A and B are shown apart, each in its own frame.
Chain A
Amino acid sequence: KAGVTQTPRYLIKTRGQQVTLSCSPISGHRSVSWYQQTPGQGLQFLFEYFSETQRNKGNFPGRFSGRQFSNSRSEMNVSTLELGDSALYLCASSLTANTEAFFGQGTRLTVV
């Protein structure tokens, strides 16, 4: 059974640009969550999608957005990148909301 797949694995962007990250969940999983991981703040919840609907959002500015497609694949977008957005972005999938979450390998975003 394939795990959670995130693409790309590494990304370097310039301040002010925007970026789109992709996540393919485990087959059959309908819930996809996104997290930001930094050395200082640890893992922080960004948002969660279930059946193409955003169910909740963490305490992040509106520059961070996402969506989920009918096949449960999800994308997150960060606009007007700032240096502080440099982080490991992790996607997690679960059968339904509030069950065990399985993480992908993450996308390492570096903003220069």
Chain B
Amino acid sequence: EDQVTQSPEALRLQEGESSSLNCSYTVSGLRGLFWYRQDPGKGPEFLFTLYSAGEEKEKERLKATLTKKESFLHITAPKPEDSATYLCAVLRGGGGADGLTFGKGTHLIIQP
């Protein structure tokens, strides 16, 4: 069974204090790993897709990396508007469409 574990569950940072969020996964044949951001009462907003170990992607203050067992979302010099829940999800390879398996998320709070 596919499993995705995100840590920490919650993280409180000061504005400008960089940190990393972790996503550990167990999946039979990874087709892709996805990062989403979700604000309260809204649907998840797509951030990145990573397909193979060693791949990195960047967008503004965010950088996602992937190894064979985990992914990191690095946040550099965060601002209060980066406060949100960050979700990691994996998609298994194979012939069927099994849907995304999500982690429980990391609730990030950036204090001014």
Which A residues are closer than 8 A to B by beta carbons? Answer: 4, 6, 31, 33, 35, 42-48, 50, 55-56, 58, 90, 92, 97-98, 100-106, 108
Contact = CB atoms under 8 A, between A and B. Distances in A.
User: How many of chain B's residues touch chain A, expressed as a range?
Assistant: 20 to 34
B101 A45 contact: yes
B60 to A, nearest CB: 18
Given A42-B105, A98-B31, A98-B32, A104 B43 contact: yes
Contacts of B103: 42
Given A35-B100, A35-B102, A42-B102, 14 more contacts: A33-B97, A43-B87, A43-B100, A45-B100, A45-B101, A46-B99, A47-B99, A55-B96, A90-B43, A90-B44, A92-B100, A101-B46, A103-B44, A103-B46
B97 A55 contact: yes
A31 B96 CA distance: 13
B79 interface: no
Contacts of B105: 42
Contacts, number: 61
Nearest to A101: B100
A97 B97 CA distance: 6
A46 B97 CA distance: 12
A105 B43 contact: yes
Interface in B42-71: 42-46, 49
B46 A100 contact: yes
B102 A98 contact: no
B91 interface: yes
A4 B46 CA distance: 12
Contacts of B74: none
